[in-house]
């Protein structure tokens, strides 16, 4: 049975992840990048503040005594933020995209795809605390 601490961490994470999905959601990856660029162009710090699950994963990694599964969560969330920044830089600063990358970024995205994190990350929290 899941105890209250685990449930509280999961509920907090789901709330924060849902917040991120809500402000980033778009019909394509390019649409998501455009939405993120609005905050990134004002300040990278504002952009980073808009990624609360990244900070959650840092704190959770420390509070779980550097648990392996919490480390996986932190690694994935770090890779996610870095990828977003690199794509924003590639599209808006360097303005150089290969034809293949352009096709991927402009391809329509299933509306369920942004919510996959809500399914994959909570089990890592459970594994880290049991």
Average pLDDT in the 87-93 region?
92
**117 near 51, Cβ under 8 Å?**
no
> CA-CA distance, 104 to 38, in Å (whole number)?
21
Predicted confidence (pLDDT) at residue 19 exceeds the cutoff of 60: yes
For residue 28, report the phi and psi dihedrals to the nearest 5 degrees.
-145, 170
**pLDDT tens digit sequence for 32-84:** 999 999 999 999 999 999 999 999 999 999 999 999 999 999 999 999 999 99
pLDDT at res. 2: 66
Q: Which domain holds residue 86?
A: 4-129
Q: Which pLDDT belongs to residue 127?
A: 93
Counts for the chain of helices (H) and strands (E), in that order: 7, 0
C-alpha dihedral sign at 122, 123, 125, 130: positive
How far lies 62's CA from each of 23, 58, 68, 91, 128, in Å?
A: 27, 6, 11, 34, 11
Is residue 2 within 8 A of residue 126, CB to CB? The reply is yes
Residue 26: its pLDDT value, please? 92
Structural domains of the chain, count? 1
Q: What's the whole-number average pLDDT of the chain?
A: 92
Alpha-carbon span 123 to 129, nearest angstrom: 10
> What percentage of the chain exceeds 70 in pLDDT?
98
């Amino acid at each position: 049975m899941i105890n209250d601490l685990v449930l509280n961490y999961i509920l907090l994470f789901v709330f924060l992840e849902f917040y991120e999905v809500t402000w980033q959601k778009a019909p394509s990856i390019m649409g998501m990048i455009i939405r993120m660029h609005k905050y990134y162009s004002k300040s990278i710090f504002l952009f980073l503040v808009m990624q609360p699950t990244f900070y959650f994963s840092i704190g959770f990694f420390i509070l779980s005594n550097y648990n392996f599964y919490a480390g996986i969560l932190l690694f994935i969330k770090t890779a996610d933020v870095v990828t977003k920044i690199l794509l924003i830089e590639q599209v808006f600063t360097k303005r150089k995209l290969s034809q293949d990358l352009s096709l991927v970024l402009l391809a329509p995205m299933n509306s369920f795809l942004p919510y996959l994190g809500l399914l994959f990350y909570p089990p890592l929290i459970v594994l880290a605390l049991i």
